[in-house]
Amino acid sequence: MRSPPVRRRLLQGLGLWMLLAWLAVGAALVQAQGVELTQLQVGRGDGALTLEFAARVTLPKAVEEAMTRGVPVYFVAQATLRRDRWYWRDERVARVTRSWRVVYQALTSSWRVGLGGLNQSYPTLAEAMAAVTRSAGWRIADLSQLEPGKDYYVEFSWRLDTTQLPSPMQIGLGGQADWALGAERELPVELP
């Protein structure tokens, strides 16, 4: 007579695990919403390991509305070079980050994209986003940092950075899927 309650508990536990797995997959899909990495490759040039990427981004309506009202929005690309280790966590060899600021200038009806201290104006949002969603020859690490015969890989991410939005806008963004815009990918590094 004890087997049905035990079986029921096992089935309830299995159902809970399946629900948690489904939620984790759903969260990963929401995080990758609107961003497709169309190109991601590692190259070598001038004694350095370089990265080239391009992304296709579909901005959610809420993000686009905020941008057209003049709210500065930041996008961040991050690349981490790691070396495989069997005995411990993989070693981080290098990490580089780029941050773009996109803001609409109502006075001139143009879009301004800032990268570091450099600023460029574009007539349309599509052209401004094209500048933010691609990069070529991005220097990740010096080739002298890499040991021959070891396995390396690059962890790449591109996302909308909600932590740099104005403080009043950050309140309540945690549950809004429109602002969870980003993509991640790992890429092996082939050494000669």
Kindly report, residue by residue over 25-66, the tens digit of the pLDDT: 444 444 446 899 999 999 998 889 999 999 999 999 989 999
Residues 10, 40 within the same domain: no
pTM of the model: 0.76
Per-residue H/E/C for the chain: CCHHHHHHHHHHHHHHHHHHHHHHHHHHHHHCCCEEEEEEEEEEECCEEEEEEEEEECCCHHHHHHHHCCCCEEEEEEEEEEECCCCCCCEEEEEEEEEEEEEEECCCCEEEEEECCEEEEECCHHHHHHHHCEEEEEEEEEHHHCCCCCCEEEEEEEEECHHHCCHHHHCCHHHCHHHCCEEEEEEEECCC
What pLDDT was estimated at residue 172?
A: 61
* Same domain flag for 107 and 18: no
Q: Is the pLDDT of residue 90 over 70?
A: yes
Q: What is the pLDDT of residues 120-168, one digit of tens each?
A: 999 999 999 999 999 999 999 999 989 888 999 999 999 999 888 887 7
- Residue 28: predicted pLDDT: 41
62 and 135: one domain?
yes
Residue 1 lies in domain: 1-31
Comparison of pLDDT for 164 and 6, the residue scoring more: 164
Write down the pLDDT at residue 98.
95
Confidence of residue 79 (pLDDT cuts 50, 70, 90): very high
The verdict on 96 and 74 lying in the same domain is yes
Q: Do 6 and 89 lie in a common domain?
A: no
Give me the pLDDT at residue 174, please.
58
110 shares a domain with 78: yes
- Residues 15 and 49 placed together within one structural domain of the fold: no
> Into how many domains does the chain fold?
2
Q: How far apart are CA 71 and CA 27, in angstroms?
A: 26
Is there a single domain that holds both residue 58 and residue 17? Answer: no
Q: Verify that 10 and 51 share a domain, yes or no.
A: no
24 and 105 part of one domain = no
Amino acid at 183: A
- Residues 68-85 have a mean pLDDT of 94
Mean pLDDT, the chain, integer:
83
The pLDDT assigned to 164 comes to 83
Integer CA distances (angstroms), 177 to 53, 78, 160, in order: 24, 21, 12
Q: Which residue shows structure tokens 């890429």?
A: 187
Does residue 149 share a domain with residue 107?
A: yes
**pLDDT band at residue 20 using 50, 70 and 90 as cut-offs:** very low
On whether both 104 and 117 belong to a single domain, the answer is yes
